[in-house]
Amino acid sequence: MTISDTFDAVHPVNDRYTPPQTGELDQIAAVFTDGRLSGGAPVLAEYERALADWFGVRRAVAVNSGSSAIHAAFVALDVRPGDEVLVPATAPIPTALPILTCGAIPVIVDTGPGSLALHAADLKAKITARTKAAISLPLWGYPVDDADAATVLAEAGVPLIEDACQAHGTRIRGQYAGTRYRAGCFSTHDRKLLSTGEGGFVLTDDLELADRIDHYTHLGHLKGTQHGVNYKLAAPLAAIGLTRLRELHTQLQQRRDNAHQILAGLPRDGSILAELPYAKGDEPNYYNLVLTTRPDKAEATATAFAAAGLPPDSSRYRYKPLYHQPIFAQYATPCPNAEQLTATTIQLPVHPGMTPSALRWVTDRTHALAEGQP
Ligand SMILES: *Cc1c(COP(=O)(O)O)cnc(C)c1O
């Protein structure tokens, strides 16, 4: 037996997915032949068109990171110093840092019970005259049902954006995550489903908003009339994205197949584990397979997964509600649902690079732990 066939805490399943090469180097070579490597090269327009078509939206603006995408969306929505932005307590650090980049104030909102969606009543209580925007977050690529929150926000005239940085291909109520509200922000960092190494993009059907984002991220098009930053994506990275986008449907199918293999044998009765719930007809992209465990078993279950070399985010990244991070501590507010959700979720790798034996091992370990076996 080779090392790669033996899995435990010392030889864990590789959770890093490296997509097979499918012509990236040829596409980069074409960029070199053209000679223009900057974010102004023709391949950028081609990449943005391909993204807009894939997701079925009117415009995509490519930028150099997901953080840049979120920041640029806020600026285009006129989020200014002292303004308030509503953010779910389940948000990881990179979702909320762009609020601080604007000099704005993160207003942390609890999630619904057992859900990643913004809690509509808590949200409503936290809207003020200074509220400029709100964030919906399909974390781990899981569908979020933010319909109630979206209604409250629409009534208050507050724009909602999606941080879909982990949600390429996630389906919610027949639409792709990141295409449902004013703007969808994506990352193409190496750990995401579509990777260009570093990078990101914003999707929107609002052409005026797209123009403002494009203007801001391209130094105000050097007109000297308005402030701008340089968030352009370099041409070789756009070439990688253009090539890999063609494989995204295949990757999504493989992730779903892997997730379903693990879920298939999961005991239904008496199990201490179940998949994080979502509405019928919706589809996670399986950035991770996410299981929830009973609160009374949460700590022991997380410890058991960690001991098996499958550490959940709570132990691996010390993932907790946002206000547990020192930089956001001053914005703390009671969020009991988010506290419970972050403590009771287990994230498992299901990427297409997993070998059959790795997948079988994760399946066997998960089923044993679901039955309460060590
Ligand atoms: C990755 C990520 C970001 C930031 O994207 P970068 O490209 O790393 O700047 C923001 N939000 C979420 C949820 C992410 O997963």
As a three-state string, the secondary structure of 273-311 is EEECCCCCCCECCCCCEEEEECHHHHHHHHHHHHHCCCC
**Per-residue pLDDT at 154:** 98
252/171 Cα distance (integer angstroms):
11
Count the Cβ atoms, other than its own, within 10 Å of residue 64: 22
β-pairing verdict for 183-187 and 200-204:
antiparallel
Atom of ligand 1 minimally distant from the CA of 137: 13
Output the pTM of the full model. Answer: 0.97
Distance 67 CA to ligand 1 centre (A): 6
Q: What is the 3-state secondary structure (H, E, C) of 220-235?
A: HHHCCCCCCCECCCCH
Cα(199) to centroid(ligand 1), Å: 10
Give the pair of three-digit tokens for residue 296.
Answer: 């009374």
pLDDT for 285: 98
Q: Which pLDDT score is estimated for 3?
A: 54
Q: Enumerate helices (H) and strands (E) in the chain, giving the number of each.
A: 13, 12
Dist. CA 370 → ligand 1 center (Å): 31
CA of 358 to the centre of ligand 1 (A): 27
Atom of ligand 1 nearest to the CA of 67: 9
Q: Establish whether residue 66 lines the binding site of ligand 1, counting it when its CB lies within 6 angstroms of any ligand atom.
A: yes
- How confident is the model over 219-273, as pLDDT tens digits? 999 999 999 999 999 999 999 999 999 999 999 999 999 999 999 988 877 688 9
Best mutation site among 165, 198, 287 for ligand 1 pocket (most ligand atoms within 8 Å of CB): 165
Residue 65 Cα, ligand 1 centroid: separation in angstroms? Answer: 8
- Residues with Cβ within 8 Å of residue 3, at least 6 apart in sequence: 11
Can you give the pLDDT at residue 374? Answer: 67
Write down how long the chain is.
374
3-state SS track over 175-195: EECCCCCCEEEEECECCCCCC
Closest CA to ligand 1's atom 5: 66
**How much is the pLDDT for 232?**
98
DSSP state of 19: P
Which stretches in the chain have pLDDT values below 70?
1-4, 270, 374
The token duo for 366 is: 């998960």
Q: Decide whether any atom of ligand 1 lies within 6 Å of the 200 Cβ.
A: yes
Name the residue at shortest CA distance from atom 14 of ligand 1.
Answer: 165
85's enclosing H/E stretch is strand 84-88
Task: Pick the atom of ligand 1 nearest to 70's CA.
Answer: 10
User: What CA dihedral angle connects 66, 23, 30 and 32, to 10 degrees?
Assistant: 60
Ligand 1 mutation target, pool 87, 168, 187, most atoms within 8 A of CB: 187
Q: Does residue 67's CB lie within 6 angstroms of at least one atom of ligand 1? A: yes
Torsion of CA 123, 124, 126, 129, to 10 degrees: 130
Residue 291 buriedness (CB in 10 A; 0-12 / 13-18 / 19+): buried
Q: From ligand 1's centre to the CA of 195, what distance in Å?
A: 12
Cβ of 166 less than 6 Å from ligand 1:
yes
Ligand 1 in reach of 141 Cβ (< 6 A): no
Between CA 78 and CA 11 the distance in angstroms is 49
What separation in Å is there between the alpha carbon of 41 and the centre of ligand 1? 25
Burial class from Cβ neighbours inside 10 Å (0-12, 13-18, 19+) for residue 38 reads: exposed
The closest-lying atom of ligand 1 relative to the alpha carbon of residue 191 is: 1
Half-sphere exposure of 191 (CA within 13 A, CB side): 10
Distance, C-alpha 292 to centroid of its chain = 18
- Which ligand 1 atom is nearest residue 189's CA? 7
Tens of pLDDT along 1-26?
A: 555 678 988 899 999 999 999 999 99
- Give φ, ψ of 116 to 5 degrees: -95, -5
Distance (Å, whole) CA 88 – CA 322:
8
Calculate how far, in angstroms, residue 369's C-alpha sits from the geometric centre of ligand 1: 31
Cβ 94 under 6 angstroms from ligand 1:
yes
